[in-house]
Structure 1
């Protein structure tokens, strides 16, 4: 007897590009690498039609709750890239301790 589960088709964190194939693999409970290889083979056999299907699914499929999509991650990276957290701010010159300095080795002729 099968149990009823509330699975939703969403983009995955197991992503190479946008998480579409990883999300489909999670939904179908398949290995994501096998699905990606099949996708590439079918895309080559269909003269590139798989690319259009992928782009369509990339725009339609929702991200998992709490996970930002590709474009949201890019927007967040652009906003936080200009701001430095207070813990990472430079506090002047760095000091180096316990350094042993040697001259270049002398060559004996």
Structure 2
């Protein structure tokens, strides 16, 4: 297996709930659905311990920087890492021309 020292475990955009298992699957180069099925089997065999472990993984594994959620942005701001908002491409306002709007006729009883 090819190792990359810059590879980092982060939550995936291929998510069902939080993206924790998808991120682990991406890190290990596995199919995310196979990992999810194995995880469900582990949870059933361990009498629900997998649920607690999943909550812990969801809390510990960080989001990808471009997908950073509210709490990740607050954490970065408190550490001084993200002092300004990332530049976003703004699109102009779309205008619709030649539109004719009519009300539906009222039904008379």
**Shorter-chain TM-score above 0.5:** yes
What corresponds to 1:9 in structure 2?
9
The whole-number CA distance in structure 1 between the counterparts of 2:43 and 2:93 is 48
Output the TM-score relative to the length of structure 1: 0.62
**CA distance 1:44–1:66, change in 2 (3 Å):** same
**CA distance 1:20–1:3, change in 2 (3 Å):** closer
What corresponds to 2:31 in structure 1?
31
Across the aligned residues of Structure 1 and Structure 2, the Cα RMSD in angstroms comes to 2.8
What corresponds to 2:43 in structure 1?
43
| Greater C-alpha radius of gyration | 1
Residue segments in structure 1 that go unaligned for 5+ positions in a row = 74-85, 89-93, 98-109
| 3-state DSSP of counterpart to 1:30 | coil
Residue 3 of structure 1 deviates from its aligned partner by: 5.1
| 3-state DSSP of counterpart to 2:67 | coil
Residue 65 of structure 1 deviates from its aligned partner by: 1.0
What corresponds to 2:68 in structure 1?
68
The whole-number CA distance in structure 1 between the counterparts of 2:68 and 2:41 is 29
What corresponds to 2:107 in structure 1?
none
Residue segments in structure 2 that go unaligned for 5+ positions in a row = 72-91, 103-109
Runs of 4+ in 1 over 2 A off after TM superposition: 1-5, 94-97
Aligned length: 80
The whole-number CA distance in structure 1 between the counterparts of 2:24 and 2:3 is 20
